[in-house]
């Protein structure tokens, strides 16, 4: 009988609990024992381990957060930390470890594999969706809905006051949340890393877009969605720059960690459930150092090294729709921005 | 310059407004004029036509319902009705007609094609998701989220009172909503057409499942999700049968038309936007009698006749997970139900 | 040091957990020990008792349901059952018992007082709002919001299809949920017990209202909110009667137990918190057989016998607004219905 | 036949549309003509007037924003601007003007009364709830629910990561939103103007509170709700100060204008409906320079001068519960902060 362990690591994402539940139920189905480590990789280093039972995962599919807690772990980046982790895994006679997390968590698995011989399977869990090897990562769709809900609320007050808002959303270095939430909320402008060469060079274009819209529609609400980490000081400072240049107040809204919380939506619960089942099946089938994913509706295994090394592009159909179709109608812009 | 028209037909679905917006903006982008017919095919027969402008579709992407209204249309099933429709389309010099709707709406296009020479492009819009030619139809994901939200609420009161509930959901003759919402809400049992041979023969199995769960978990909440149209009298009558046979009250909840309403979620807004753009591009490219769709992340064109004649299967991964993995753990059932 | 106990009884209501939390924290603040009985009065009879700690009530303020579970209890209606309950309370040396529940739960306290000498304090917890002694009962505002949210969704599809819906809502024998949710959702007609003498005699008036609206507005959505228990067979049967008499399909929607679940809204969390604090203070001050409540913004104590014997009227301002102001404009009805 | 006009002014608030609807329907009920001015007082100065009909206000009760738009108006602060406004009101033969807005809007009415002889009735519409003369202003309860919903989401991720968050909420110079949302979300600390003498002097106490909680509960989520305008640089800068002093990262979340948007909840729709009816009745009864309100469940008229000059206190029961009851249990703080 195999003994498997599971942990959640890095930025938490809605659906992690649904995934833990799926891993536990599937493991029990195969007759395995299943353990949880708490606080991400810290739990390995500090040996925070507990047996997981069917009772513990009842009715958690809809819960935000993660019952195993998550954390960053600096100790795991040292050789002594990793060796301690490997020692604890061996002491508990764990055959296989499942890690639910993002880019950094997957890299952690690669490091661990140098010091520990057990099977290692990754499950993509991050709201940023910035992992190759799965069309969607667990939490991305829920976070996007949270952003959309917030922008819908902003639209009401923006319309009432005919105001300009700049909404900063998460995504680390990727524009998935910005692009999807921007399209879905009918945002007038979307600024995201894949759509720009250099935001400082393209500032004129950003401003020109606002001014063209004002010319076309008169006073009217105008919402800009912008990814984090694109401008020094973020939306707070950039909105200030815009306010000065266009002479109309542009107000910033920074959604922050709200995007990580809340009940996972159905999409993420189902994705998390499928990937949890498939991860345990992958262990049963002897795989290691692979990440499970869903690509074009098929459950897939991709080498973890490929997942972290290849940059996943945003959906070109979406970026084209925004840049080429809607803009040309709505704004009639002949903006020189590189790709959008 | 082309003149295109659009209408929404059959049961309305969240995202229809987002799709109308997308069709209008894309048509304007290509320099086309775009008209709307109101009340589904009735608008063709009764010549309820209006010019659609950019202003009319501003800020409707998030709105439920359909600004063009929808309806069933019995007149359109007669030869005289269709001829009148064709006459009105010709009188307005419409080159191409886009119909957003479900199975019946697509069949209507096939009939119309016998009497009218213009291009006909279908867009799948129905909460039931029962159309081949697209992995998701517009509205399905939102309806599923609405059901999940309702079951989450029921779970609270079911847990507090340790009660058994039977939730009837829509889907016409397909189990997409039942299966997805059941999995995502952690329902203890899911009864849907593709998972059964004959519900009357399998009634013992349904009952045995409830009883096994009570043995395993003691008194506890237990939620059954069931598709409409499976039992005479629906969940009202079937829950009565169960109540009598297991000696514990099983209460019915029939969600009904709530499932058709509400703001479309982000998924449906994006899908509706993509399909609306692609439908107008299909017209530009000279296609006719095709339905646009998205299959495995690719935008596709499928002959309408194929869409209505081929039955789309539910996701086998989901049905297997529910029947084989989770049940065996949670219920230890050796139930003889045909497929689940 | 006092030892107090708490239980939740009868139909569960959103906010019960917030109230338990408040009772526990306040009791600990005063240095009391606090125990919970599970499954309502059954817990007294069956001696299901547990110590409650600060840790157990952390982060439950937002949770639906009740961690102490609830239930009806037939054994408590027998003399032997009550005597057993009293014996268990004495065995645990409980000085005071707090019961969170509705009408039946308060009556249970009156019965218990004949066999047990400890202090008894009631807290009004029921979605029906049908208790004198508090303007709002815990759960009423949340349930009303749930109904409003459902009707908002129905409005979308009703508008799209220009349909007539009849929505049945809870309330036992009182019209609070129907009247509030009907006004707040702009329902075209609201049928509730306090607004009628005899629904069978006033059926013509109900029908005439629908027909007047159709004359005034043409085809249009029309939503009727109706309280449960007003017509044999409920909204299912009454909508059938209407369909036949007006010749236009009137579709029923029965919301059922969804109304009991879900996260409590802020209003109910705050009310539950205040009443929980005040209930423990009432114990500290030596009160017994009183129900805490909030009337005109003041925290109040009312004899339990008065709470159950006096019928609380619906807000006359609301019933007048609906019947006299809006109807006269919208429908121009000279309906002869008794009070509305 | 009277001619009345209505406008919405100042910061928009959810429920303003419900209130406009109520004013229009009631006015029509009394046989009055009713006009709307757009963009707040700008509409008076610029004569942006339109007739309002029953059709225009159908199905807007649930919509956020305001169909009459809102705005600040600097021109209205000049004598020439006000005289122009009075001239336009007279030209349209308006007998009475209803203004829905906050503190500044009411002051505007007092200025206008010096130059215009018609009746002036105010309706309290602001999320800040900082107006004497009504227990609740339109929009306050909805905004509070929006904040609670955001903090519930934050709690998930705060728990998963055991993090400290500081959430800045609106309220101008009043703590209503902070106190209500803080209590309802179980926030560990609430910082609001009425609860402090001087935030700089009490900084040690704020920090000590966080540290006491860490001692009591170990690593754990900890959420601080803070009103805007209390610290230079707001929550961004204050959280930085805390981070440095306690040596644990405290992350800021600034909710911003999201708090103004969204569908009004049932409470605000009902309040807006009642106040709209009562405002028109007040006009019918010849009142002027009064604000309608609801105090202790009674509809009331208060002189506008009293509404703007008297500061409304926060609910002492709530501030006491937070400061005296819960804190003493949870944190065992003997903090020297003045009032909390």
Q: Is the pLDDT of residue D48 over 60?
A: yes
Chain B residues with CB-CB distance to A315 below 8 A: 297
Q: Please indicate, yes or no, whether residues B86 and B16 belong to a single structural domain of this protein.
A: yes
C340 domain residue, yes or no: no
Is residue D205 domain-resident?
Answer: yes
Give yes or no for a contact between A48 and A90, defined as CB atoms under 8 angstroms apart: no
Burial D17-44 (b: 16+ CB within 10 A, else e): bbbbbbbbbbbbbbebbbbbbbbbbbbb
Between chains, do D156 and A64 touch, taking CB under 8 Å as contact?
yes
Q: Are residues A40 and A52 in the same domain?
A: yes
What is the H or E stretch that residue B276 is in?
helix B266-284
For residue A279, the distance in angstroms to the closest alpha carbon of chain D comes to 22
Is the sign of the CA dihedral C149, C151, C153, C156 positive or negative? Answer: negative
pLDDT, position C332: 45
Confidence of residue D330 (pLDDT cuts 50, 70, 90): low
Distance CA B311, CA B174 (A): 9
Q: Tell me if A186 and B61 make a contact (CB, 8 A cut-off).
A: yes
pLDDT at B339: 39
| Main-chain dihedrals φ then ψ at residue D309, nearest 5 degrees | -90, -25
Mutate to test the interface with A, among B134, B299, B329, B331 (most CBs of A within 10 A): B329
Edge to edge, the sheet with strand A298-303 lists A49-51, A33-37, A3-8, A96-101, A119-124, A290-295, A298-303
* Token pair listed for B141: 């994901």
Residue B256 burial (C-beta neighbours within 10 Å; 0-12, 13-18, 19+): buried
Cα separation, D167 vs C176, whole angstroms: 35
Instruction: Determine, for residues D162 and A71 on separate chains, whether the beta-carbon distance falls below 8 Å.
Output: yes
Does the pLDDT value for residue C118 go beyond 90?
yes
Band of pLDDT at residue A331, cut at 50, 70 and 90: low
Half-sphere exposure of A174 (CA within 13 A, CB side): 21
Chains within contact range of chain C (3+ C-beta pairs < 8 Å):
B, D
Q: Does A150 touch chain D (CB under 8 A)?
A: yes
- Give me the residues paired with residue B138 across strands: B125
pLDDT digits (tens, 9 = 90+) for A48-100: 999 999 999 999 999 999 999 999 899 999 999 999 999 999 999 999 999 99
Q: H-type helices in B1-114, by residue range?
A: 16-29, 41-46, 79-91, 103-112
Q: Are residues C125 and C36 in the same domain?
A: yes
- Domain span including residue A52: 3-139+264-309
Q: Is residue D338 part of a domain?
A: no
Q: pLDDT over 70 for what percent of chain B?
A: 96
Nearest to C130 by CA among C10, C232, C257: C10
pLDDT of D338 > 80? The answer is: no
Residue B234 at interface with chain C, using a CB cutoff of 8 Å: no
Claim to verify: residue B207 and residue B242 sit in the same structural domain? yes
Q: Report the gap between the CA of C39 and the closest CA in chain B (Å).
A: 8
- On chain D, the residues whose CB falls within 8 A of the CB of A66 are 160
Q: What is the pLDDT, as a whole number, of residue A325? A: 80
A209 touches D: beta carbon within 8 Å: no
What is the spatial distance between Cα C23 and Cα C277, in angstroms, rounded to a whole number?
6
Residue D298 confidence (pLDDT) above 90: yes
For the stretch A208-227, pLDDT in tens is: 999 888 888 778 899 999 99
Q: Are residues A15 and A111 in the same domain?
A: yes
State pLDDT tens for residues C270-296. 999 999 999 999 999 999 999 999 999
* Domain assignment of residue A335, yes or no: no
Query: Is residue C73 within 8 Å of C42, Cβ to Cβ?
Result: yes
pLDDT at residue C330 in the model = 57
Alpha carbon distance C273, C275 (integer Å): 6
- Whether B256 and C253 lie within 8 Å, measured CB to CB: yes
Q: Would you call D125 helix, strand, or coil by DSSP?
A: strand
- Residues A135 and A318: beta-carbon distance below 8 Å: no
Taking an 8 Å cut-off on Cβ atoms, the answer to whether D29 and C329 are in contact is yes
Catalytic residues of D: 128
Q: How far apart are CA C130 and CA C209, in angstroms?
A: 28
- Three-class secondary structure of residue D191 per DSSP: strand
C257 touches chain B (CB under 8 A): yes
Reply yes or no on whether the pLDDT at C336 is more than 90: no
Q: Give the CATH number for residue A222.
A: 3.40.50.460
pLDDT surpasses 80 at B332 = no
- Do residues B153 and B191 share a domain? yes
- Structural domain includes residue C147: yes
C124 forms bridges with which residues in the sheet?
Answer: C101
Structure token pair of residue C207: 């029908």
Q: How do strand D290-295 and strand D298-303 relate by DSSP bridges? A: antiparallel
Checking if the pLDDT of C260 tops 70, the result is yes
Residues A135 and A172 in one domain: no
Contact B273, B22 (CB under 8 A): yes
Q: pLDDT by residue (tens digit) across C38-80?
A: 999 999 999 999 999 999 999 999 999 999 999 989 999 999 9
Using alpha carbons only, what angle is made at residue C21 by residues D207 and D339, rounded to the nearest 5 degrees?
A: 40
Residues B160 and B230 in one domain: yes
D276 shares its domain with D251: no
Residues C62 and C182 in one domain: no
Residues of C annotated catalytic, as ranges: 128
Tell whether B120 and B38 lie within a shared domain. Answer: yes
Give every CB contact of residue D298 below 8 A, 6+ residues apart in sequence: none
0.90 surpassed by pTM: yes
Interface of D with C in 51-110 (CB under 8 A): 54, 58-59, 61-62
Q: What pLDDT, on the 0 to 100 scale, is given for residue A339?
A: 39
- Inspect the interface and report whether the beta carbons of C152 and D296 lie closer than 8 Å: no
pLDDT score of C339 more than 70: no
Residue C335 lies in a domain: no
Instruction: Give contacts of B 2-31 with C, CB under 8 A.
Output: 8, 11-12, 14, 16
The secondary structure of residue B138, as a DSSP letter, is: B
C200 pLDDT more than 50 = yes
Helix (H, G, I), strand (E, B) or coil at D192: coil
Find out whether B318 and A270 touch, Cβ atoms under 8 Å: yes
User: pLDDT digit string (tens) for D102-116?
Assistant: 999 999 999 999 999
Pick from A223, A246, A237, A247: nearest CA to A161: A223
Is pLDDT at B219 greater than 90 in this prediction?
no
- Token pair for B50: 């209006």
* CA–CA separation, D248 and C294 (whole Å): 41
Cα gap A33→A29, rounded to integer Å:
10
Is the pLDDT at A335 greater than 60? The verdict is no
Backbone angles phi and psi of D311, in degrees to 5: -80, 130
Evaluate whether A82 touches A108 at the Cβ level (below 8 Å): no
- Flag whether residue A160 sits within 8 Å of chain B, measured between CB atoms: no
Catalytically active residues of A, by annotation: 128
User: C121 CB contacts (<8 Å, ≥6 apart)?
Assistant: C96, C97, C98, C99, C279, C282, C283, C287, C288, C290, C291, C292
Give the residue among A66, A64, A8, A58 at the shortest CA–CA distance from A28: A58
Q: Which two tokens stand for residue C305?
A: 């016998």
| D137 CB neighbour count, 10 Å cutoff | 30
- Residues C99 and C283: their CA atoms lie apart, in Å, by 12
**Alpha helices (H) along chain A:** 16-29, 41-46, 79-91, 103-112, 140-161, 176-184, 203-217, 234-246, 266-284, 304-309, 316-320, 327-330
Q: Is residue A337 part of a domain?
A: no
Q: How many separate domains does chain C show? A: 2
For the stretch A285-318, pLDDT in tens is 999 999 999 999 999 999 999 999 999 999 999 9
As a whole number, the mean pLDDT across chain D is 93
Q: In what order do the strands lie in the sheet with A222-227?
A: A189-191, A222-227, A164-169, A250-254, D250-254, D164-169, D222-227, D189-191
Q: Which residues sit opposite A299 in a β-bridge?
A: A294
How large is the average pLDDT for residues B5-19? 97
Residue pLDDT, tens place only, A116-128: 999 999 999 999 9
Q: Tell me the pLDDT band of B330, cut-offs 50, 70 and 90.
A: low
Q: Looking up tokens 């929009």, which residue turns up? A: D139
Q: Do D160 and A256 touch (CB under 8 A)?
A: no
In a domain, B154, yes or no: yes
Residue pLDDT, tens place only, A80-94 = 999 999 999 999 999
CATH code for the domain of A14: 3.40.50.450
Structure tokens at A310: 């290849």
User: Looking at the structure, do residues A58 and A157 belong to the same domain, yes or no?
Assistant: no
The CA distance from A100 to A70, in Å, is: 10
Distance from CA of C176 to the nearest CA of D (A): 13
Q: For B228-262, what is each residue's pLDDT tens digit?
A: 999 999 999 999 999 999 999 999 999 999 999 99
What's CA C256's distance to the chain center, in Å?
Answer: 13
């Amino acid at each position: 009988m195999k003994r498997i362990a599971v942990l959640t690591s890095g930025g938490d994402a809605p659906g992690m609990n649904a995934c833990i539940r799926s891993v536990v139920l599937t493991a029990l189905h195969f007759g395995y024992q299943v353990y949880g480590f708490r606080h991400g990789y810290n739990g390995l280093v500090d040996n925070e381990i507990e047996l997981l039972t069917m009772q513990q995962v009842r009715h958690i599919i809809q819960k935000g957060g993660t019952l195993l807690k998550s954390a960053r772990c600096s100790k795991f980046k040292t050789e002594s930390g990793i060796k301690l982790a490997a020692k604890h895994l061996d002491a508990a006679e764990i055959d296989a470890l499942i890690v639910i997390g993002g880019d950094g968590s997957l890299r952690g698995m690669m490091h661990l594999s140098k010091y520990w011989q057990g099977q290692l399977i990754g499950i993509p869990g991050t709201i940023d969706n910035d992992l190759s090897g799965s069309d969607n990562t667990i939490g991305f769709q829920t976070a996007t809905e949270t952003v959309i809900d917030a922008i819908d609320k902003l639209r009401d007050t923006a319309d009432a006051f005919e105001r300009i808002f700049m909404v900063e959303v998460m995504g680390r270095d990727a524009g998935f949340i910005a692009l999807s939430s921007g399209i879905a909320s009918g945002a007038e402008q979307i600024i995201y890393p894949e759509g720009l060469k250099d935001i400082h060079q393209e500032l004129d274009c950003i401003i020109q877009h606002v001014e063209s819209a004002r010319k076309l529609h008169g006073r009217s609400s105008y919402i800009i969605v912008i990814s984090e980490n694109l401008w020094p000081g973020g939306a707070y400072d950039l909105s200030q720059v815009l306010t000065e240049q266009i002479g109309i107040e542009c107000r910033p809204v920074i959604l922050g960690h709200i995007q990580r919380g809340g009940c996972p939506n159905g999409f993420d619960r189902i994705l998390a459930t499928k990937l949890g089942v498939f991860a345990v099946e992958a262990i049963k089938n002897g795989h290691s150092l692979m990440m499970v994913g869903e690509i074009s509706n098929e459950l897939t295994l991709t080498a973890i090294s490929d997942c972290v090394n290849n940059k996943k592009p945003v959906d070109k159909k979406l970026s084209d729709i925004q840049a080429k179709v809607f803009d040309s109608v709505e704004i009639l812009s002949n903006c020189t921005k590189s790709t959008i």
